[in-house]
Structure 1
Amino acid sequence: MPVISSTKDVDTLTMTFVAEFEATVEKVWEVWADPRKLERWWGPPTWPATFERYEFEPGGQARYYMTGPDGTKARGWWTITAIEAPHRLEFDDGFADENSEPVDPKDATHGTVTIEAAGGRTRMTTVSTFTSAEQLERMAEMGMEEGMREAQSQIDKLLTA
């Protein structure tokens, strides 16, 4: 499994995932930059994602939904806040309504993805920063840690394709 660690830290209001892959930095970057690749792993295997909008640039908007086993759609949004290709991506991430618009932008988390060479492999560190301990605990109770581990475990298949 590519995820080598996941850490929930209430003191820093973060959840951090570290994964390593047998691929170049550029190839790992593509799983974020290409929405068709992104939707093949963003979300656990039983909740695949579909990106309806994906503007991969600072200030760009993304709108997506994940479809559950019973057909339920959980919608989300991103606002991309920074891109330093192929090493860093930052975005705000939140829940969306049935029209794919943000439910409460103040309840968003902030994601920071760092991709770097690591001894012949590539290390991807994903940090979600929360606005409060309550928000962190709510997301943890919703299964975010397990879901992200399962989601990132799907990336290996994309890198060998």
Structure 2
Amino acid sequence: MKNSLTFDFTVNKETNTVQVQKEFAAGLDLVWDAYTKPELLDQWWAPKPWLAKTKSMEFKVNGTRLYAMRGPEGEEHWALANFTSISPKTNFRYLDAFCDNEGNINDQLPRSEWNLDFIDKGDITLVDITIKHNALADLEKLIEMGFKEGFTIALNGLDELINNWKK
């Protein structure tokens, strides 16, 4: 069944967007929690061998998640998510930015708007993600930094976790 699950990663340079559609072999409640609870996010959000570590998170409108991606050599890359809209178990939106470990945004790196839709299909949940950038150069910089490869590895990590949680 795993091979039949949808995974699509599309870059649209005309609209400066990335569209990711990914099905998970789990019910909506579990997938929603995996995206919205820091103790679960930290288990899969970073591409292996990197690890995610949330410093703080308030999953509410105008709340934030401040977290680091930690590499195998001890390097850290910090990011800040500012939650702008939450419709429980169906959608949430946030502004994403690179920052320092105190949440001060790095204006030298691109910011993006994330929109995540969760579609309940019974034993399968589709997560439909649209990531919007202000400029084509921002989108291209993120792709150049390895976003597609890294995010794909992270999403596959969530697949692995879901399979382990079901055991």
State the TM-score, normalized to the length of structure 2.
0.89
Alignment of 1:10-159 (within 5 A): 10-104=13-107, 107-118=110-121, 120-159=123-162
Asked if the contact 1:3–1:149 (Cα under 8 Å) also holds between the matched residues in 2, the reply is no
| Residues 68 and 101, structure 2, Cα contact 8 Å, conserved in 1 | no
Of 87-96 and 39-48, more deviation after overlay is shown by 39-48
Shift of 1:29: 0.2
1: distance between equivalents of 2:59 and 2:108?
Answer: 19
* Deviation by residue 1:48-71 (Cα, 9 ceiling, x = unmatched): 110001000000011110011211
Q: Distance in 1 between matches of 2:120 and 2:6?
A: 16
CA contact (8 A) 2:27 2:122 kept: no
Q: CA deviation at 1:157?
A: 3.0
SS, match of residue 94 in structure 2: strand
May I ask how many residue pairs the two structures share in their alignment?
A: 161
Segment of structure 1 superposing worse, 103-112 or 142-151: 103-112
Cα RMSD, aligned residues only? 1.8
**Aligned-pair distance for 1:22?**
1.3
Name segments (4+ residues, structure 1) moved above 6 Å. none
Which letter maps to 2:131?
Answer: S
1:19-45 per-position Cα deviation (integer Å, ceiling 9, x unaligned): 111111111100112101011111101
CA gap 1:37/1:105 in 2 versus in 1, 3 angstroms: farther
- Quote the Cα distance in structure 1 between the aligned partners of 2:156 and 2:56: 24
Cα distance change on mapping 1:52 and 1:105 into 2, 3 Å = farther
Structure 1 residue 107 displacement after superposition? 3.8
TM-score with structure 1 setting the length: 0.92
Secondary structure class of the residue paired with 2:114: strand
> Unpaired segments of 5 or more residues in structure 1?
none
Q: Deviations over 1:77-129 (max 9, x none)?
A: 01000111101010000100243321229942011111102374211111111
Percent of paired sites with the same residue: 25
Mapped contact 1:3–1:153 kept (Cα < 8 A): no
Q: Is the 8 A contact 1:94 1:105 kept in 2?
A: no
